[in-house]
C-alpha cells in the first residue's frame, strides 16, 4: 500500500516538473504561480492619493469597526508582494518582501493595527459588500518628503515603522533585514560569461570570479567538512570515517 | 618718507571704510533668504542600520570601509566623521529601558550640521567654504590653501583633512548632497535610503513646524527640545530625541552664532587686503627711515673723521 502511495507521489512530482519544463521550453518563460502573478500585478498598481483622512483615535476606530462587523474575516487577498513603484523609483537596495496578509490578520486579530486610518469619505458599498473601511497602505503613503504633506510618511518608512516594532515587541517574525527582504540578485544571464560547451571546471571558475568569499566561507563550513554517520547512507550508520571531510569527493 | 601718526590713522580709516562697503551679505540678509533646505533627524526613529553611512559612501565615491556596513559591532566604540566617511551613526545607552525592563539603545547619525552662520566659513581666509542660499555649506577645493582653520573653528569638529593624500589633500565633510537637490530634485542619499524616515528632508521652516507638531503630539516620546533650532545660531540639520541631548553626545552650545567676533576681526583684517598693505607700507616706511638715518649717520661719521 505504502509502495503504491510512493509511486503515485513520484509520478505527480515528475508530471509537475515535466509540465513546468515543457511550459518554460515552449514559452521561454518561467512558470509563475497564479497567486504570485496576481500579487506582482497588484504591487505595480498605483491608486490615487488619499488627501484627507477621517480623524478618529485608535480605540474609537477599533470599536467602530467592531460595531460595523468589519473584522479580519473580511480579508480578501491573503498574499502580497511589497514591491511598489513608489519605492523602486528612488532606490533598489533589496528585493521585494513577500507579505502574508492573511496570516498577519489572523495573528493580530485586529485590522486597525495596520489600517490605522481611512479616507475622510469612505468608499461606498458595492453590491452587498460592506463599505470599505480599510485601504491599501499606498493609498495614503506614497513618495517620501512630499512638501504638501510633510507629516505623512513615505511608503517605505510606513512599512518599516509598522513592521519592525511589532516584530520586536511580539518576538515574532523575522528581525533582520534579510529575514523579510529577498536578496536583490541581479540577472545572472547578463553577468555570466562562458564559452559554448563549457566544461565543469570552467563553470566553477566563472562562479568563483565573483563569489570567492562565499567559496572560502563554504570551505570552513560543515557543508564542506562534515564527517560521520549520515541518515542517508545505508549500512554505515555508525561509521565516522565517511563524509565530505574525509572520503567523499569534494567539489562544488 | 616717514609714516606719521596722522598718516597711520588715515590709512586705517580707508581700511575701515572698505569693511563697511564689503559685498559679503550680512547675517540678516542671509536669514531673510531663509527658506533653505534642511534635514530633521528624529533619533527616536533611528534603528541603527547604518544604511545612511553606506549610501553616503556610495554617492560620494568614498573609499571602501575597513569593516562592512552591515557589521554592527562598530557600535561598540564611538566614532567620528573623518576623511573617509562624511557621516557615522553612534550608539548610546542613556539608561532608557523598555517594557520588559531591558536597556534600549539610542542611535545618533552625525555629519556636518550645515550651520546657518557657519564658523568654518568665517574662519576660512580664502572663501573656500561658503554658505549657499539653498542651505548647504559648500567646500570649493580650488580655493582651499590647506590652512585647516575650518577644522579648528567648527564647534562640531566636523571638517577632516586628507592627511593620507600628500599631493592633492582636501578638507572632507558632508556636502549635503547638494547636487542631488539642485540638479535632480532629489533628497540627499542618506535621507532617501533611510528605511524609517528617521531623516526627513525639506525646507527648514516646514521641518521646524513638523518637529514642533511631533513634540506636541507625542510629549512622552520626546525631549521637548529641537537641537539645531538655535544652537550655534541655528543649523540646517535639526534633531529630535527621546532623552536629553547631553546623553547622546550633543554639545551644549550658546544660541548666538559663534563666529560673529572672529569673523568681524578676521574679515575686517582681510577685506581688500588693506591690513597686509598697511603692514607692508609700515615696514617700508620704517626701512626708509632707518636707511635715511644710517645715511645721515654715516655722513656724520665721515665728516667727524675728516675733522
Ligand atoms: S558643522 Fe562645522 S563644518 Fe559644518 S557648517 Fe557648521 S561649522 Fe561648518
Ligand atoms: S547629505 Fe549626502 S554627504 Fe551628507 S551625510 Fe548625507 S549622504 Fe553624506
Ligand atoms: S539609515 Fe536611518 S535608521 Fe538607518 S542608521 Fe541611518 S538614520 Fe538610522
- The listed CATH number (3.40.50.150, 3.40.50.300, 3.90.10.10, 3.40.50.800) that belongs to domain A34-180: 3.90.10.10
- Whole-angstrom CA distances from B136 to A90, A190, B36, B119, B121 are 22, 40, 8, 14, 12
Cβ of A153 within 8 Å of Cβ of B187? The answer is: no
Strand ranges, E, within chain B: 37-42, 88-92, 106-110, 129-131, 137-139, 160-161, 171-172, 199-203, 237-240
Among B44, B35, B2, residue whose Cα is nearest residue B197: B44
How far apart are the CA of A179 and the nearest CA of chain B, in angstroms?
14
Instruction: Please tell me the predicted confidence (pLDDT) of residue B41.
Output: 98
Q: Is residue B159 part of a domain?
A: yes
For residue A183 the three cell numbers come to: 536578496
In a domain, B285, yes or no: yes
- B91 in a structural domain: yes
B71 shares contact with chain A (CB less than 8 Å): no
For ligand 2, atom 8, the nearest C-alpha belongs to: B56
Q: Is residue B307 part of a domain?
A: no
Q: At B293, which helix (H) or strand (E)?
A: helix B274-306
Q: Are B174 and B86 in contact (CB under 8 A)?
A: yes
Q: Grid coordinates in use for B59?
A: 554617492
Q: How far apart are CA B149 and CA B137, in angstroms?
A: 15
Per-residue model confidence (pLDDT) at position A20: 52
Same domain, B9 and B39: no
Residues B77 and B146 reside in one and the same domain = yes
The residue ranges of every structural domain in chain A are: 34-180, 185-246
Where are the extended beta strands (E) located within B45-157?
A: 88-92, 106-110, 129-131, 137-139
Q: What is the pLDDT along chain B (307 residues), one digit of tens a residue?
A: 444 444 444 444 444 444 433 444 445 445 544 589 999 999 999 999 999 999 999 999 999 999 999 999 999 999 999 999 999 999 999 999 988 888 999 999 999 999 999 999 999 999 999 999 999 999 999 999 999 999 999 999 999 999 998 889 999 999 999 998 888 889 999 999 999 999 999 999 999 999 999 999 999 999 999 999 999 999 999 999 999 999 999 999 988 776 655 666 666 666 556 666 778 888 888 888 888 777 665 545 444 444 3
- Asked if the structure places residue B264 within a domain, the reply is no
Which 183-242 residues of chain B touch chain A by CB within 8 A? Answer: 186-187, 191-197, 200-203, 206-207, 209-210, 213-214
Give the per-residue pLDDT at A198: 93
**Which pLDDT does position A237 carry in this prediction?**
73
Q: Does residue B289 share a domain with residue B232? A: no
Q: How far is CA A208 from CA A9, A186, A204, A216, B13, in A?
A: 38, 16, 6, 10, 75
Give the pLDDT score at B304: 42
Per-residue b/e over B163-199, b at no fewer than 16 CB within 10 Å? eeeeeebbbbbbbbbbebbeeeebbbbbbbbbbbbbb
Looking at the structure, tell me whether residues B81 and B120 fall in a common domain: yes
- Determine if ligand 2 sits within 6 Å of the CB of residue B182: no
B58 and B9 in one domain? no
| Pocket residues: Cβ below 6 A from ligand 3 | B 46-52, 89, 107, 109, 193-196, 198-199
For the stretch A196-247, pLDDT in tens is: 999 999 999 999 998 988 889 888 888 888 887 766 767 777 777 778 888 7
Atom of ligand 1 nearest to the CA of B131: 5
In a domain, B103, yes or no: yes
Q: Within this chain, do residues B133 and B248 fall inside the same structural domain, yes or no?
A: yes
CA-nearest residue of chain A to B100?
A169
Percent of residues in chain A assigned helix, strand, coil, to nearest 5:
45, 5, 50
With vertex at residue B115, the alpha carbon angle to CA B83 and CA B274, rounded to the nearest 5 degrees, is: 90
For residue B201 and ligand 2, the question of a CB distance below 6 A is answered with: no
**Residue to substitute from A149, A150, A161, interface B, most B β-carbons within 10 A:** A150
- Cβ B195–A151 below 8 Å, yes or no? no
User: Which distant-in-sequence residues (6+ apart) come within 8 Å of B288 by Cβ?
Assistant: B1, B2
Strand bridging mode B37-42 / B237-240? parallel
The domain total for chain B is: 2
List the single residue in A with minimal CA-CA distance to B214.
A151
SS3 state at B91? strand
Q: For residues B15 and B79, state if they share a domain.
A: no
Q: Kindly state the average pLDDT of the residues A185-189.
A: 84
Residue B13 structural domain: 5-23+271-301
Is there a contact between B117 and B257 (Cβ–Cβ < 8 Å)?
A: yes
Distance A26 CA to ligand 1 centre (A): 63
- pTM equals 0.76
User: What is the DSSP-derived secondary structure letter of residue B160?
Assistant: E
Query: Do B207 and B97 reside in the same domain of the chain?
Result: yes
pLDDT in the model for residue A4:
54
**pLDDT score recorded for residue A18:** 53
Q: What letters, b where the CB count within 10 A reaches 16 and e where it falls short, cover B91-123? A: bbebeeeeeeeeeeebbbbbbbbbbbbbbbbbb
Please answer whether residues A64 and A25 qualify as being in contact, where contact means their C-beta atoms are separated by less than 8 angstroms. Answer: no
Predicted local confidence at residue A93, as pLDDT: 85
**Contact: B197, A156; criterion CB under 8 Å:** yes
Amino acid at each position: 500500500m505504502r509502495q503504491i502511495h510512493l509511486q503515485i507521489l513520484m509520478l505527480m512530482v515528475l508530471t509537475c516538473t515535466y509540465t513546468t519544463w515543457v511550459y518554460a521550453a515552449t514559452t521561454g518563460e518561467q512558470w509563475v504561480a497564479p497567486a504570485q502573478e496576481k500579487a506582482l500585478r497588484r504591487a505595480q498598481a498605483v491608486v490615487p492619493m488619499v488627501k484627507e483622512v477621517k480623524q478618529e483615535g485608535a480605540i474609537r476606530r477599533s470599536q467602530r469597526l467592531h460595531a460595523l462587523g468589519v473584522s479580519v474575516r473580511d480579508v480578501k487577498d491573503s498574499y502580497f508582494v511589497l514591491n511598489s513603484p513608489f519605492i523602486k523609483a528612488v532606490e533598489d537596495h533589496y528585493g521585494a518582501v513577500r507579505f502574508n496578509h492573511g496570516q498577519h490578520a489572523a495573528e493580530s486579530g485586529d485590522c486597525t493595527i495596520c489600517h490605522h486610518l481611512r479616507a475622510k469619505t469612505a468608499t461606498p458599498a458595492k453590491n452587498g459588500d460592506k463599505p470599505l473601511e480599510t485601504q491599501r497602505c499606498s493609498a495614503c503613503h506614497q513618495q517620501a518628503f512630499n512638501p504638501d504633506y510633510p507629516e505623512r510618511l513615505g511608503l517605505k518608512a510606513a512599512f518599516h515603522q509598522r513592521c519592525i516594532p511589532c516584530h520586536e515587541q511580539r518576538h515574532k517574525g523575522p528581525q533582520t533585514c534579510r529575514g523579510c527582504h529577498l536578496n536583490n540578485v541581479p540577472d545572472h544571464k547578463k553577468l555570466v560569461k562562458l564559452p559554448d560547451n563549457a566544461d565543469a571546471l570552467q563553470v566553477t571558475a566563472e562562479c568563483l570570479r565573483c563569489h570567492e568569499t562565499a567559496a572560502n566561507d563554504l570551505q570552513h563550513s560543515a557543508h564542506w567538512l562534515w564527517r560521520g554517520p549520515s541518515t542517508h547512507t545505508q549500512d554505515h550508520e555508525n561509521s565516522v570515517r565517511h563524509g565530505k571531510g574525509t572520503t567523499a569527493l569534494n567539489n562544488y | 618718507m616717514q609714516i606719521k601718526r596722522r598718516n597711520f590713522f588715515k590709512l586705517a580709516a580707508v581700511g575701515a571704510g572698505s569693511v563697511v562697503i564689503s559685498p559679503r551679505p550680512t547675517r540678516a540678509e542671509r536669514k531673510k533668504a531663509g527658506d533653505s533646505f534642511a534635514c530633521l533627524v528624529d533619533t527616536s526613529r533611528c534603528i541603527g542600520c547604518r544604511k545612511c553611512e553606506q549610501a553616503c559612501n556610495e554617492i560620494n565615491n568614498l573609499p571602501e570601509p575597513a569593516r562592512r556596513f552591515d557589521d554592527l559591532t562598530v557600535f561598540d566604540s564611538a566614532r567620528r566623521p573623518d576623511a573617509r566617511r562624511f557621516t557615522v551613526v553612534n550608539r548610546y545607552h542613556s539608561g532608557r529601558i523598555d517594557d520588559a525592563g531591558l536597556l534600549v539603545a539610542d542611535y545618533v547619525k552625525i555629519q556636518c550640521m550645515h550651520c546657518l552662520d557657519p564658523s568654518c566659513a568665517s574662519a576660512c581666509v580664502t572663501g573656500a567654504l561658503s554658505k549657499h542660499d539653498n542651505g548647504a555649506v559648500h567646500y570649493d577645493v580650488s580655493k582651499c590653501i590647506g590652512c585647516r582653520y575650518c577644522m579648528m573653528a567648527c564647534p562640531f569638529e566636523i571638517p577632516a583633512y586628507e592627511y593620507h593624500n600628500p599631493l592633492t589633500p582636501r578638507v572632507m565633510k558632508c556636502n549635503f548632497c547638494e547636487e542631488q537637490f539642485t540638479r535632480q530634485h532629489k533628497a540627499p542619499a542618506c535621507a532617501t535610503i533611510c528605511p524609517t524616515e528617521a531623516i526627513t528632508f525639506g525646507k527648514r521652516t516646514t521641518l521646524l513646524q513638523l518637529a514642533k507638531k511631533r513634540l506636541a503630539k507625542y510629549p512622552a516620546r520626546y525631549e521637548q527640545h529641537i537641537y539645531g533650532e538655535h544652537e550655534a545660531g541655528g543649523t540646517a540639520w535639526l534633531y529630535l530625541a527621546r532623552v536629553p541631548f547631553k546623553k547622546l553626545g550633543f554639545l551644549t552650545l550658546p544660541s548666538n552664532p559663534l563666529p560673529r567676533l572672529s569673523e568681524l576681526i578676521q574679515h575686517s583684517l582681510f577685506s581688500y587686503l588693506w591690513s597686509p598693505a598697511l603692514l607692508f607700507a609700515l615696514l617700508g616706511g620704517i626701512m626708509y627711515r632707518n636707511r635715511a638715518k644710517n645715511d645721515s649717520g654715516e655722513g656724520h661719521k665721515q665728516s667727524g673723521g675728516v675733522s
